[in-house]
Amino acid sequence: MIYADNAATTKMSGAAMNAMLNCMEETWGNPSSLYGLGQRAKEALEDARERIAACIGASPKEITFTSGGSEADNQAICSAAALGARNRKRHIISTTFEHHAVLHTLKKLEGEGFEVELLPVGELGTVTARQVAEAVREDTALVTIMYANNEIGSILPIAEIGAVCRKQGVPFHTDAVQAAGHLPIDVKAQNIDLLSLSAHKFHGPKGIGVLCARQGIPLSSLIEGGAQERGKRAGTENVPAIVGMAAALEEACARLEENTAKVSALRDRLIAGLSQIPHAALNGDPVNRLPGNVNFCFEGIEGESLLLLLDDQGICASSGSACTSGSLDPSHVLLSIGRPHEVAHGSLRLSLCEENTEVEVDTILKAVPEIVGYLRNMSPLWKDKVSGKKKFIL
């Protein structure tokens, strides 16, 4: 099997699994309990908090554990919105290609009277700090812009946007789910007030994430109950997952440069090879791009068929076609960078990690053109383009 869907989830690292197993055997108590077993669990929890904070330039008090990236996004945005509303600020700036955890939360806030302004992301899929500066108003309650896009891999100028927001006194949240463990993060240097991350994107366990909130930004809780996480997130902490996340993040950050060099070389080999396919186009920013992300549109074919045939050859990938999203429309990300529906249906995302090899990339490079050719050969849409009856788009 060739696993090339690391943006969907990653395989857990040995370090993370060992940390979790050890925790489940030795420190399985409830961190809120007074006796030794509970207090040892509490120590493991706080140790993990310190280590995670150190990885992203935060202080431990700024770290709140959540069930993952979606919860962190929801809580960050709702907290900033509540804070804004108390000061009669009801304007929120974001982008058209955020994750649904952000966009759907913003939609809900729109229903509650907030005005949401989604900045266009252009053909490369990015926004500039200048766009943000021009959009900020006196009543802006929040700017929420992702660090890197999960589908097309564009990396956004987060530090510059952070500087604009800090200067204007507007809270800045970034969904760093795709960035954490893969790109450098320093919440202080980058002027990030709120940041979301999720462990299973960097070889940690699923169902655990972090909301990092700068001191002075009050969080509203989404889940009421006990006083865990300083009253900001009720429920007994998932200590094994938290220590697994800490181990995974430390490892990813320690090897960040080495992994980036290796993975981006594999990515560029894959991009160069797939670019040879006629009437195909790379999606996203070719330069400011996540090390592992490859995303192409192939004209005249549909993405799900491509995925099924790749799966038959043991290659795991994903697509933004409507058929794979389970809705009428293809990926909102591909539409937001101006791909027409027809072309967006024929998209393929391959996301690599440091465990992938050149041999695997070459296997993919052999499989994809063959399958694309096979599917085009049975596609009446492709035939119409070849015959000149319809125009090529790519």
Partner 1 sequence: MALYSEKVMDHFRNPRNVGVIEDADGVGEVGNAVCGDIMKIYLKIEDGIVSDVKFETFGCGSAIASSSMATELIKGKPLSEALKLTNRAVTEALDGLPAHKLHCSVLAEEAIRAAVKDYYDRQGIAYDPKDFPDCGSCEGCHG
**Burial class of 230 by CB neighbour count within 10 A (0 to 12, 13 to 18, 19+):** exposed
82 vs 335 by CB, closer to partner 1: 335
229 vs 302 by CB, closer to partner 1: 302
The nearest distance, CB 330 to partner 1, in angstroms, is 7
Instruction: Give all strands (DSSP E) within the chain, no chain letters.
Output: 2-3, 63-66, 91-95, 115-119, 140-144, 172-175, 194-198, 209-213, 280-282, 293-298, 315-316, 347-351
Evaluate whether 296 touches 280 at the Cβ level (below 8 Å).
yes
The nearest distance, CB 210 to partner 1, in angstroms, is 33
148 vs 322 by CB, closer to partner 1: 322
**Distance between CA atoms of residues 298 and 223, nearest Å:** 44
The nearest distance, CB 386 to partner 1, in angstroms, is 12
Evaluate whether 363 touches 2 at the Cβ level (below 8 Å).
yes
The nearest distance, CB 367 to partner 1, in angstroms, is 15
The nearest distance, CB 331 to partner 1, in angstroms, is 12
Place of tokens 């999606």: 283
Q: Which two three-digit tokens encode residue 133?
A: 């500066």
**Distance between CA atoms of residues 382 and 394, nearest Å:** 12
89 vs 376 by CB, closer to partner 1: 376
326 vs 388 by CB, closer to partner 1: 326
Residues at the site binding partner 1, with contacts judged by CB under 8 A: 300-305, 308-309, 312, 321-323, 326, 328, 330, 340-342, 345, 378-383
97 vs 298 by CB, closer to partner 1: 298
Helix residue ranges per DSSP H, 87-218: 100-111, 129-135, 158-168
**Distance between CA atoms of residues 257 and 184, nearest Å:** 9
**Distance between CA atoms of residues 41 and 23, nearest Å:** 8
Q: Which two three-digit tokens encode residue 321?
A: 């076609």
The nearest distance, CB 347 to partner 1, in angstroms, is 11
Q: Residue 203: name the closest of 174, 237, 180, 175 by CA.
A: 180
* Catalytic residue ranges: 323
**Distance between CA atoms of residues 143 and 61, nearest Å:** 23
**Distance between CA atoms of residues 3 and 10, nearest Å:** 9
